[in-house]
Amino acid sequence: MSETEYSSTGPDAQTNETPPYTIEDHGLLNHGKEISIPCPHENDHDEATLWEENENLKNDLRKLQQKEKKLSHDEKVILGQLLRSEEDRYTLEAKVDDLRKECNAKTKSLDGAMKRLCVANHQLDAMTSKWEMSQHELGLCMAKVEREKQRE
């Protein structure tokens, strides 16, 4: 195929009088690639207000970043304190466990001593009763001896 078969300037080419777009519909064609479109827009904000708002937003962002750093630092401090307090808790729990074991051992020892004391008290009560009975018998014997002496 020759170049003329594909050429739009060849004898078979059809010419289209209508461009693919119109200036009114799509804007103006600048430099072959740029299209400028007239946009009716209202400028509700003046530039000074926008700059002020932008500065305020930057300040707010800085404050939030500082707050974030402070909160991050506080979180690290709190986590450190929590770790130390957990270690302290485990240490104290171990001490409580040791004291509980010691208390239980002393309680058992005290229970044994209380049982021995109870047995000793019973023995003492029995001895006291025997002594009182022997005193009573002695008193009776003495009275009998005196009556016999008086009869004689």
What CA–CA distance (Å, rounded) separates 8 from 17? Answer: 13
Task: Name 54's Cβ contacts closer than 8 Å, sequence gap at least 6.
Answer: none
Q: How far is CA 117 from CA 102, 111, 113, 141, in A?
A: 22, 10, 6, 35
Could you read off the pLDDT tens digit of each residue along the chain, which spans 152 residues?
Answer: 444 444 445 555 555 555 555 554 445 555 556 666 666 565 566 888 999 999 999 999 999 999 999 999 999 999 999 999 999 999 999 999 999 999 999 999 999 999 999 999 999 999 999 999 999 999 999 999 999 888 87
Predicted confidence at residue 46, as pLDDT, reads: 85
Give me the pLDDT at residue 31, please: 59
pLDDT in tens, 43-72: 566 888 999 999 999 999 999 999 999 999
Query: Given this model, what pLDDT does residue 2 score?
Result: 46
Query: How many CB atoms lie under 10 A from the CB of residue 72?
Result: 10
DSSP β-ladder status, 28-30 and 34-36: antiparallel
Q: How many angstroms separate the CA atoms of 79 and 85, rounded?
A: 10
Q: Which helix (H) or strand (E) holds 30?
A: strand 28-30
- Residues 148, 149, 152, CA angle at the centre, nearest 5°? 90
Contact, 7 vs 13, CB < 8 A?
yes
